């Protein structure tokens, strides 16, 4: 080694050397992550289609698998499940829409009136020193921020017609993708695993199963909590003398798929609507019930329904939604929680596999008889892989 290199190595402290090396590695990882996020933003329509297709196929996969086990051809099982879903969804929409369409038309003006009443209270009766101009400035800044987020979601300023066309295209693509995932999902998974090195296949199957189970648990849990919260909040609004109870119940159900933040938005809408249509007494009742329902769901019902599929701290959920919204817009906010839950559960499963000594080599069953003893002594993950 040259003398100047030796002298330089003596000058640089080992800690500084390690920190510098780590920083360069983090910079390289950051560049790759930024490039991936940029590519996702450019292909937001494709990402939306894939995300919707994965959610949709995960929700219908149990029924499709049951039909396949009963001898249905994969294509017929996929078509039958999707057709049945659209028939049921169409029937529910046809039954609800005529009765609540007029109420939904009144929902916007009612919320606007509630905001005006709240503004009057802040300016005239509240103990806070708030002027009318302060409220108007806040409204203008909030509107500008919403417009900025909506424009950022597509990474460019586009007119409404183009956005609607792209969303419709993404949903059509998602429907087609869902069909092929329900039809050929098993074969596609086996093909992907066959491309991997033999020593990695067992671990990949284990991690994939954990991710799939996590996503299923999230969808089941969100739907269950949405139904419970929607019924309770909608009934409370009706009993408190408020109007638009059914639209509020529907909004509460949909908001359950965005944990924490969705509940706050749905509860705020319920309180505002009740404030206008029933008065401050009914609004206070709805507010108290909404808070109690959220606490009951978060502390008792949600852990039981979700299990380990979504054991996320509220701060993790909040930061995930904020980060997803900042990076991808409303689409990122909608998919932030399931993506975070899947990622954290996969990491936990990988650490568990390393801790329990799960071997990564998937060898034929006959080889275990000679080298590893009877089948009952094989590691559990490898047994599952061979059974699949």
Q: How large is the average pLDDT for residues 68-80?
A: 89
Q: What angle do CA 326, 330, 335 make, to 5 degrees?
A: 95
pLDDT, tens digit (0-9, with 9 covering 90-100), for 295-336: 777 666 766 666 655 667 777 777 888 888 777 777 777 788
Are 42 and 155 in contact by the 8 Å Cβ rule? The answer is: yes
Q: What letter would DSSP give residue 125?
A: I
**Residue 31, pLDDT score:** 93
Report the mean per-residue pLDDT for the chain.
75
When mean pLDDT is compared over 24-28, 205-209, 249-253, the highest value belongs to 24-28
**Residue 59, pLDDT score:** 87
> Which residues, at least 6 apart from 263, have a Cβ–Cβ distance to it below 8 Å?
229, 252, 255, 256, 290, 294, 297
Residue 14: helix, strand or coil by DSSP?
helix
| Residue among 171, 69, 200, 154 at smallest CA distance from 331 | 154
Q: What is the pTM of this model?
A: 0.65
**Residue 250, pLDDT score:** 84
Indicate the domain borders of the chain.
Answer: 1-42, 198-388
Q: Who wins on pLDDT, 141 or 208?
A: 208
Residue 27: pLDDT band with limits 50, 70, 90 = very high
pLDDT, tens digit (0-9, with 9 covering 90-100), for 351-376: 888 776 655 444 433 333 333 444 34
**Residue 303, pLDDT score:** 67
Percent of the chain with pLDDT over 70: 71
- Would the pLDDT of 383 be above 80? no
**Residue 101, pLDDT score:** 60
- Would the pLDDT of 41 be above 90? no
Distance (Å, whole) CA 50 – CA 170: 9
pLDDT, tens digit (0-9, with 9 covering 90-100), for 183-196: 888 888 888 888 88
Q: How large is the average pLDDT for residues 82-97?
A: 79
């Amino acid at each position: 080694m040259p003398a100047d290199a030796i002298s330089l190595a003596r000058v640089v402290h080992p800690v500084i050397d390690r920190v510098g090396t780590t920083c360069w590695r983090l910079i390289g990882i950051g560049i790759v992550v930024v490039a991936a996020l940029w590519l996702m933003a450019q292909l937001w329509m494709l990402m939306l289609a894939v995300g919707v297709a994965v959610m949709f196929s995960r929700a219908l996969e149990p029924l499709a698998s049951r039909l396949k086990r009963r001898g249905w051809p994969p294509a017929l099982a996929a078509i039958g499940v999707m057709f049945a879903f659209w028939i049921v969804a169409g029937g529910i929409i046809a039954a609800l829409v005529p009765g609540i369409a007029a109420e939904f038309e009144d929902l916007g003006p009612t919320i606007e009136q509630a905001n005006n009443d709240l503004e009057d209270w802040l300016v005239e009766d509240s103990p806070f020193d708030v002027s009318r101009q302060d409220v108007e400035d806040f409204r203008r800044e909030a509107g500008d921020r919403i417009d900025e987020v909506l424009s950022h979601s597509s990474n460019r300023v586009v007119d409404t017609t183009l956005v609607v066309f792209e969303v419709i295209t993404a949903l059509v693509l998602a429907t087609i993708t869902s069909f092929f995932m329900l039809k050929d999902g098993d074969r596609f998974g086996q093909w992907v695993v066959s491309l991997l090195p033999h020593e990695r296949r067992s671990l990949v199957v284990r991690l994939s199963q954990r991710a799939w189970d996590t996503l299923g648990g999230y969808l089941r849990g969100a739907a269950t909590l949405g139904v419970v919260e929607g019924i309770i909040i909608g009934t409370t609004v009706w009993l408190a003398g408020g109007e638009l109870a059914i639209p509020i119940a529907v909004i509460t159900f949909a908001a359950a798929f965005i944990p924490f933040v969705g509940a706050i938005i749905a509860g705020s809408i319920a309180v505002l609507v009740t404030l206008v249509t029933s008065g401050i007494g009914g609004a206070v009742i709805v507010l108290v019930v909404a808070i109690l329902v959220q606490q009951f769901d978060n502390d008792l019902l949600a852990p039981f329904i979700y299990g380990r599929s979504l054991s996320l701290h509220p701060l993790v959920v909040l930061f995930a939604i904020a980060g997803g919204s900042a990076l991808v817009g409303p689409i990122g906010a909608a998919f932030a929680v399931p993506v975070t839950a899947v990622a954290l559960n996969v990491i936990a499963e990988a650490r568990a596999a390393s801790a329990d000594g799960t071997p990564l080599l998937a060898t034929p069953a006959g080889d275990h008889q000679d080298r590893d003893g009877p089948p009952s002594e094989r590691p559990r993950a490898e047994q599952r892989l061979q059974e699949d």
